[in-house]
Amino acid sequence: QGHFVESGGGWVQAGGSLTLSCAAASRDTFIGWYRQAPGKQRELVAGITITGSTNYADSVKGRFTISRDNAKNTLYLQMNNLKPEDTAVYHCNTLDFRKWYDWGKGTQVTVSS
């Protein structure tokens, strides 16, 4: 498997919730969740440092929560009150775009209205 292996995606109605998980091969200092919808650019939705400091895209503030378990090399994204515009393939990676690992398959999130 790749450096990051994402899981937990699925299909939900608007207003529903999902939790994504990302198993990592190492503990990187600053990692996060990206998403990309068909025909749109990849965007960063949330990031977290190894000490637990977080940041979020304006579009997901108050709805998504990023966390990490350093002992397990696992990254999480709790997504609440999902909207159709959240539909995308979600990937995890370092937040340093100069050092991105291979993107892999990601996990698909589909939100219907």
pLDDT in tens, 25-74: 988 889 999 999 999 999 999 999 999 999 999 999 999 999 999 999 99
Question: Does residue 9 carry a pLDDT above 70?
Answer: yes
Q: Which residues contact 101 (CB under 8 A, 6 or more apart)?
A: 2, 3, 4, 93, 94
Rounded Cα–Cα distance for residues 87 and 110 (Å)? 5
